[in-house]
Amino acid sequence: VCVCVLHFSECADLMTAGSRRCIVVSTLAEACFYADHGFDDIIYAYSLPFDKIERCAALSEKLDLFQVLLDHHDALQQLKRRPLKDGQLWHVWLKLDCGNGRAGVLHSEPEALSLARAIAGTEGVELTGIYAHCGNTYSCTGVEQIQAVAQDTTSCVLQFMEKLKAVGITCKSSIGSTPSCSHPVQDMSKLSEVHPGNYIFYDVQQSMIGSCSLEDVAVRVLTRVIGHCPQKDQLLIDCGWSAISLDGAGKLPTGYAIIEGHPDLKLSSMTQEHGRLEPISGHLDYSKYPLGTLLSLIPHHSCATAMMHPVYHVHSKGRLLGTWNPTRGW
């Protein structure tokens, strides 16, 4: 599972059913944080940054299984220049771009096979697996479109595995994103691993894509009415972009978030610590929103919102069960 959305060990504990094994992170700060909390078998699923080779080496030498990801020959050269102590191997995933268009070597390019062969053939380095992230499911709407992308990505990876097999290389295979793993296709069972992360919270974006329903979304930002602005027909709230992020910009009829229980309100603008709510139609009835009124916002993208807060309050059925403390940085 990808724990990059979460940054705290209690939740990653839930996601791994207490095993504290088999996690994916996107920053080294997360990798160190989880390693310090007893997690192992960690994939740092981010095209290897050269300034962080030494820290990656330290984690590789400390943990049972720390794995890095690369998509360029230069990165392989960097690993070659820093052999691990006592003959330990660098565990390397090759990042394949199967249409997502972010990082990765394009699956159809001869370069992809040549890089895989180079990794497998390098002393001190092991080709652990092929990693594709189908982030292009985020531009889908509905199960059919999600599954078409999931199928396409899976087929690309499985075909690539066949090419590897033909040259005598076997290793793991994986794809993953919350939309694809929420509606998996049969062929995904042929992969060694999948790596969703956002599903643990879900969010408005996922409900619009069709990964989940709005009732499945488990994260809220609570905010208070701190001002009435009748001249503009607006309410001022103590939630700006530093509390919920600008991720929802222009994507929702209700503005940057959904205001739970108030479908008639729109979070229309924000500065760093202030937000402005206005009615979608008609005029505000200020008697419904006295100063101090608590409102609950459902974020557009919980990963972005999660990054904004130093502590999480965990509720179940109206009861506070505890707090979770995230990690930060790179």
Binding site for ligand PLP (CB under 6 A): 2, 4, 24, 26, 45, 133, 176-178, 195-198
Q: Give whichever of 9 and 198 is closer to ligand PLP, judged by the CB atom.
A: 198
Distances (CA, A) of 58 to 28, 83, 187, 203: 11, 11, 37, 36
Q: Give whichever of 44 and 256 is closer to ligand PLP, judged by the CB atom.
A: 44
Q: Give whichever of 198 and 305 is closer to ligand PLP, judged by the CB atom.
A: 198
> Considering the complex, what minimum distance in angstroms separates the CB of residue 299 from ligand PLP?
14
Query: Can you give 33-101 as a three-state secondary structure string?
Result: HHHHCCCEEEEEEEECCHHHHHHHHHHHHHCCCEEEEECCHHHHHHHHHCCCHHHCCEEEEEEEECCCC
Tokens of 160: 């690539």
> Considering the complex, what minimum distance in angstroms separates the CB of residue 100 from ligand PLP?
9
Q: How far is CA 296 from the centre of its chain?
A: 23
Contact 92, 103 (CB under 8 A): no
Question: Within a 13 Å sphere around the CA of 299, how many CA atoms are in the beta-carbon half?
Answer: 27
Q: Which of 93, 99, 162 is nearest to 130 (CA)?
A: 93
Q: Give whichever of 133 and 266 is closer to ligand PLP, judged by the CB atom.
A: 133
Q: Give whichever of 177 and 254 is closer to ligand PLP, judged by the CB atom.
A: 177
Contact 298, 217 (CB under 8 A): yes
Q: Give whichever of 8 and 265 is closer to ligand PLP, judged by the CB atom.
A: 8
> Considering the complex, what minimum distance in angstroms separates the CB of residue 197 from ligand PLP?
4
> Considering the complex, what minimum distance in angstroms separates the CB of residue 194 from ligand PLP?
9
> Considering the complex, what minimum distance in angstroms separates the CB of residue 26 from ligand PLP?
6
Q: Give whichever of 266 and 301 is closer to ligand PLP, judged by the CB atom.
A: 301
> Considering the complex, what minimum distance in angstroms separates the CB of residue 312 from ligand PLP?
17
Q: Contacts from 278-283 at CB under 8 Å and sequence distance 24+?
A: 278/232, 278/233, 278/234, 278/235, 279/233, 280/253, 280/254, 283/233
Query: Measured between alpha carbons, how far is 312 from 324 in angstroms, rounded to an integer?
Result: 5
Q: Give whichever of 96 and 115 is closer to ligand PLP, judged by the CB atom.
A: 96
> Considering the complex, what minimum distance in angstroms separates the CB of residue 136 from ligand PLP?
11
> Considering the complex, what minimum distance in angstroms separates the CB of residue 22 from ligand PLP?
13
Q: b vs e for 271-288, b when ≥16 Cβ sit within 10 Å of the residue's Cβ?
A: eeebbbbbbeeeebeeee
Q: Which of 223, 268, 224 is nearest to 249 (CA)?
A: 268
